[in-house]
Structure 1
Amino acid sequence: MSWMIYGATGYTGTLIAEACARQGLTPLLAGRSESKLKALAERLNLPYRVVGLDGALTEALADQQLVLHCAGPFSATAEPMMQACLASQTHYLDITGEVAVFERTAELDEQAKAAGIVLMPGVGFDVIPTDCLAARLKAEMPDAVSLALGFDSRSGFSPGTAKTSVEALPQGGLIRRKGQLTPVPLAYRNAEIDFGGGKKHATTIPWGDVSTAWHSTGIPDIEVYLPMSPRKTQQLQRLNAVRGMLGWGWVQRFLKRRIEARLTGPDESQRSSATTWVWGRVSNAEGHTLEGRIQVANGYDVTVTGALAMVERVLTENPSGFLTPSKLAGWQLVESLPGSGTIALSR
């Protein structure tokens, strides 16, 4: 079966391509830079194809059963790739964590079913562990009306992830209330949370689960938390006063240039030593609560193994429509990934 990794020369795309080479898989590496693609393809002994996100993309996908899209920012790249996949009847998977992409993909559900393809964003750390934990908690408490999720990871950011975070700053925070996405200020709510290694100060972030967990569970109120020191939380809250300026083109370019100059992404030793705790809590109308925790591998390693697990599943089962990881593979998916423990529940 022929399938493609698009954005194969980026930080995460390269990690996935390297894992494929080790496992004897032969995806087609694709992207816009011939020099980078050729060097990677020759090093890994894999085929490659140079194609941009333009009118040539549909033709380039015509002989591919699936594309694993790894080229961010997905706010700019997901739409042309999904449209090309619909036109060429090619399954679409990506590793985004961007709420707008999840919501847009859900809008294309009927078109995907008509084309006989699956549209499934978020098949990496964004959002497999949190999505599976949300589904597990919902299964245990079917009448849950609120869901809080969070994760504690110290692995650092790749350049692409950091740039996506910078792009999101002007929009502020985001939660779900009564089934509706609701804009809120940056660092809108704070809490003391035991993610798995003791209580830490945490604040809300506009993570993809405010979209995906809704589609996976139907729980109407959803928030996502990240550990953050009180000092950094206050710094983030002060940005609310100048959020509009953060969206100015020259400000975005300046911040992204700094990221490019300073970040390369965590190396193998950093990834192997930085596992991640994932936490969740559901509550029902009567005030009963249930918490869940699971320790998983480093986020980038989860993205590699999770994405490849979803590629195999889609190629084998040939599903269609918009799906989240847990809707396709069940909450057990996270426990099956290398480096994962089991979900522990507590009341």
Structure 2
Amino acid sequence: MNAPAENRAMPRYCNQPPQTQPVLPSDLSPNRSRAILLVRAKWINGTVLHYAFLDQGGDVGGPEQLDEVRHAFQAWKALGIGLEFQEVEDPSDSEIRIVFQQSQGSSSYVGRDNLGISTREPTMTFGWDLTTPYGKATALHETAHAMGLAHEHQNPFAGIVWDEEKVYADLAGPPNNWPHEVTFNNILRKLSPNEVTGSAWDPDSIMEYSFGPGLILSPEAYRGGIPETLSLSATDKARVLQWYPPLAARPQQLQAFQSTPLQLATGQQTDFEIVPSETRSYQIGTFGNSDVLLALFEETADGGLRYVTADDDSGQDRNGRLETRLVKGHRYLARARLYSAWGSGSAALMYW
């Protein structure tokens, strides 16, 4: 995200850390590889993302900075998405950890990449005042990264041709002072078509940088620059609801030893309720030709959900399995998100 454009100095941009790239077997079909790349950064729908503040505004400002981050999470939730956001005091209980440091700029890890970061380290940084209209947009931008959304100007369908030498030169100077590789990673590198949803570019997206004149050679309409966006576009809202639709009021109950078909398309998810009739060790697993992210949650006394365990079998010639102790009468939620199906296209879930 960037500061206001148009007849102004070069803005400060969001410096997104490089995303992890899964190592997939070379013999996977193109469609199967594409499906895994498309879904890999997204959370299981219904996940509670816990966030913690590592300082109280740092050198950016006071407690009002924290409020703007809270408001950004609330704005996404207000769309009706299935994700939940919960502030916690203890950073070790969080997936997202936030600091305010002017020297570090603004950035966030993308989606499930947050899970690979030490609980002693921040995963989201803000380097300028969030109480301005631009700052509020920055908070929306970085929290969207945390949900798994990428930079829109790197969309391969944008068709942007850059004046690369000028881009590198401008970003190497103040206020960004970016080295060559950071500029490439955040601006010039085009995402693979396998990593983006749909086939169209949204210049009005909250994930789009604004640019002044002289950096874009084509399309002709954008040679004069791309204006800033300060709010969620219609496409932003549609995309996040596509990945995280509202949850069903009550999921289907899964009976022990009963195989239940998973009739899903790429990226879709189904949830099942498990209430075991005896306390013992159980296995929960998928069957069939499919790549699935499978996760188990236990309902807590206050009606919330506690993460228990998960397995991701994507790109591997096996089916996901969870083995854990379940307690009689307790309520559990098994969530299965499909990356890809091949062969017969049939898949099923069972616990025993």
Q: Which TM class, normalised by the smaller chain length?
A: under 0.3
Highest RCO, 1 vs 2 (Cα 8 Å, sep ≥ 6): 1
TM, length-normalised to structure 2: 0.27
Higher helix share: 1
Q: Which protein is bigger by CA-based radius of gyration?
A: 2
TM, length-normalised to structure 1: 0.27
